[in-house]
């Protein structure tokens, strides 16, 4: 997971989970000078003065279309385990693993067959889109798991 590019949306996820406003980052970091990667990474890690309330406030003010649950989980995750790219992405991996039993349960309810549920779950497990999104520091795995859980 460390070899994939940590792209724009993942950086926004890390900044939001750390409680930073994008306008705050732009004002502090981008002042007409070249900003090094090391200087920018400061905003991807939670500062001691940033709280969960800052995370929710940043979503409310600048990114209200995203529900806060994933960002709240990520906020605590990076505080407990660190803010490396692998750690940030690992939360999505773990959440995405819950898709498998949820999908099995849904298939079992729909088809009344363990075999159909097993084959369906195996297809999801090797689905390129599911594998791709489960490795990104984004909320797609959480949406999928909660949708499947609520449907079963």
31-72 pLDDT, tens digit per residue, is 777 877 777 787 888 888 899 999 999 999 998 898 999 999
- Structure confidence by residue, pLDDT tens digits, 65-111: 989 999 999 999 999 999 889 999 999 999 999 999 999 999 999 99
Q: How far apart are CA 65 and CA 88, in angstroms?
A: 21
Same domain, 57 and 41: yes
Q: Inform me whether the pLDDT recorded for 129 exceeds 90.
A: yes
Q: Inform me whether the pLDDT recorded for 1 exceeds 70.
A: no
Q: Inform me whether the pLDDT recorded for 2 exceeds 90.
A: no
* Domain end position, chosen among 31, 58, 83: 83
Same domain, 101 and 73: no
Look up the pTM and report it. 0.88
Find the domain containing 33 and state its range: 6-83
Residue 65 resides in a domain: yes
Same domain, 13 and 32: yes
Dihedral angle of Cα 82, 95, 140, 36, to the nearest 10 degrees: 10
* Domain end position, chosen among 33, 67, 83: 83
DSSP 8-state assignment for residue 67: -
Same domain, 13 and 76: yes
If you average pLDDT over each of 24-28, 84-88, 110-114, which comes out highest?
110-114
Q: How far apart are CA 108 and CA 45, in angstroms?
A: 42
Q: What's the rounded mean pLDDT across residues 11-21? A: 90
Residues 6+ apart with CB under 8 A from 122: none
Same domain, 108 and 149: yes
CB 47 within 8 A of CB 19: yes
By CB atoms closer than 10 A (0-12, 13-18, 19+), residue 56 is middle
Residue 113 resides in a domain: yes
Same domain, 108 and 150: yes
pLDDT of residue 131: 95
Number of structural domains (the chain) is 2
* Domain end position, chosen among 50, 83, 116: 83
Same domain, 13 and 78: yes
């Amino acid at each position: 997971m460390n070899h994939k590019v940590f792209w724009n949306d993942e950086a926004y996820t890390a900044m939001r989970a750390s409680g930073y406003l994008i306008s705050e980052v732009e004002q502090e970091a981008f002042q007409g000078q070249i900003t090094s990667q090391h200087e920018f990474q400061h905003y991807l890690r939670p500062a001691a003065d940033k709280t969960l309330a800052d995370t929710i406030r940043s979503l409310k003010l600048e990114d209200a279309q995203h529900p806060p649950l994933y960002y709240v989980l990520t906020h605590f995750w990076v505080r407990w385990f660190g803010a490396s790219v692998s750690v940030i992405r690992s939360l999505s991996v773990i959440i995405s693993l819950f898709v498998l039993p949820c999908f099995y349960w849904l298939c079992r309810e729909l088809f009344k067959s363990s075999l159909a549920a097993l084959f369906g779950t195996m297809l999801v497990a090797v689905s390129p889109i599911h594998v791709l999104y489960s490795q990104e520091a984004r909320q797609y795995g959480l949406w999928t798991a909660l949708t499947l859980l609520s449907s079963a």
